[in-house]
A and B are shown apart, each in its own frame.
Chain A
Amino acid sequence: MVGHLGRHGSIARSAEHVPAERGMWLFLLADMTVFALFFGAYLWEFGSARDEFTADAAALPVPVGFVNTLVLLTSSFLVVRAVEAHRSGAFDRARRFLGGTLAGAGTFTGLKLVEYALEIAAGHGLTTSTFFMYYFVITGVHLMHVAIGTTLLVAWQRALAPGKAPYGPRWAEGVAGYWHMVDLLWLIIFSLLYIGSYA
């Protein structure tokens, strides 16, 4: 669809307008289905070893996870503003909002790496317990999504620079949708692994 609109294309906002394109939504759904399998497997084993999981989860730095939750929520809000600016042709403003989103992505990644370092220093690893197996695999695959999302955001921002040809609004909406998914998945991860283990 981007092909039809062209890189400079813009679409009138109407009641029928669905952001991005159908294939993108199917992709996001399929991607989250894989995460649903991760979460399902986690909950299955959590149910049969609650005490062990709760003891391990107590080693997670909840405040760091909470700060990261706020960081991602803020970056999701900024990406919404970037899409709005992009749609209205205010490319400079969109670029600034994307700068904020990217700062959020960088902060999240930095804090996550600090968190990993703390946990590994405390003797926890991929194979030390069932809880930490899920913790490292699920947050690791999520962090890979953060990296992919960051790459897409950088491409979007760079194409908005003066003298460059910006991507079409559908492309921007697709990247924004991906970033919202990254945020949504983190909310579930934080709820299940960091907080839910105490429930």
Chain B
Amino acid sequence: MTRELTGTSRRALLACAWCGPLTVVVAFTGWLIAGVLPVPLGASSTAGEVVDFYSSGAHVPMGIALASIGISLVIPVIAAITYVMWLGEPGAPVLTSIQAVSGTATTVLLLVPMLLMASAGFRPERPAELTVLLNDTAWLLFITPVGPFVIQNVAIATAILSTSTTPLPRWLGFLNLWVGFTFTFDVIAYAFHDGPFAWHGLLIFWLALTSYAIWLVAMGLTIRHVIVARAAGRDPIPGVA
């Protein structure tokens, strides 16, 4: 079995890498259409505000549905990361496996909340407390299950920082550690309805959104760089086999 890329597999992998930045563009577009951005509903929103948001028109569930497609583009990114890690992991691909499994879980944890939000907008004339319940569940499911994300970040960082055979640059390992750190405390969103630690707060939603977007763009573009450099017969990182 060869680990090198030829023809179709190289082009497919390049497409996977571009899915990183593309996820950000499509998901943000969907959220802007839906009105989730620039200012999302918060943990302090009243039942009236929640119902008003979801009953403001078909653009809400449709925008969220578009965001769910954007978020699905994380799947090819995880596949590309898995391949590049496998390429560089000496011996048994243990860290690669951890990354693949935890990364797969993250895609589900991103996708399901979007579908719950879209469902909330599907029949907003239902009793208000049910829409509030759907909205709370969607947002808490979107923000707080950070475990798989952090495990994925740590697996990537460990693979990059502890081996000299990886084609990925060391700064990307440190970036993964930082991104993982910015997620760790998101679980405290369960305790607050207001302030910077509520789900819509600066240090929860906005920080995680920023760091995850940076992560998607950085992972995607770095993997693209690795593939292009290999195709051109260049070593992406001088001094590393």
| B182 partner residues in chain A, CB cutoff 8 A | 34
Complex: A1 Cα to B182 Cα, angstroms? 25
| A181 CB, nearest partner CB in chain B, Å | 12
A38 contact set on B, CB distance < 8 A: 203
Contact A41 B170 (CB under 8 A): no
Q: Tell me whether B94 is interfacial, beta carbon within 8 Å.
A: no
| B174-206 contact mask (Cβ, 8 Å, vs A): 1 or 0 | 110110011011001001100111000011000
Query: Does B164 count as interface, using CB distance less than 8 angstroms?
Result: yes
Q: Which residue of A lies closest to B193 (CB)?
A: A127
The answer on a CB contact under 8 Å between B197 and A24 is no
Contact of A144 (CB < 8 Å), options: B184, B196, B197, B207: B184
Binary CB contact string for chain A from 16 to 45 against chain B (1 if under 8 A, 0 otherwise): 000001111011001100100110010001
Partner of A37, one of B184, B207, B239: B207
Tell me the dominant secondary structure on chain A's binding face: helix
Give CA–CA (A141, B203) in the complex, Å.
12
Partner of A141, one of B175, B185, B192: B185
Q: A150 vs B185: C-alpha distance in the bound complex, in angstroms?
A: 19
B residues in contact with A164, CB < 8 Å: none
B224 to chain A, nearest CB (A): 20
Q: Which residue of A lies closest to B182 (CB)?
A: A34
A4 to B203 CA separation, bound complex (whole angstroms) = 38
In whole angstroms, how far apart are the Cα atoms of A3 and B182 in the complex?
27
Minimum CB–CB distance from A180 to chain B (whole Å) comes to 17
Q: Mind listing 5 A-B residue pairs with CB under 8 Å?
A: A4-B164, A31-B178, A37-B207, A41-B196, A141-B184
Given A34-B203, A126-B188, A127-B192, 6 other A-B contacts at CB below 8 A? Answer: A23-B174, A41-B196, A45-B195, A133-B195, A137-B197, A140-B185
Residues of chain A touching chain B, judged by Cβ–Cβ distance below 8 Å, are 1-4, 21-24, 26-27, 30-31, 34, 37-38, 41, 45, 126-127, 130, 133, 137, 140-141, 144
Measured CB to CB, the residues of B under 8 A from A are 161, 163-164, 170-171, 173-175, 177-178, 181-182, 184-185, 188, 191-192, 195-197, 202-203, 207, 239-240
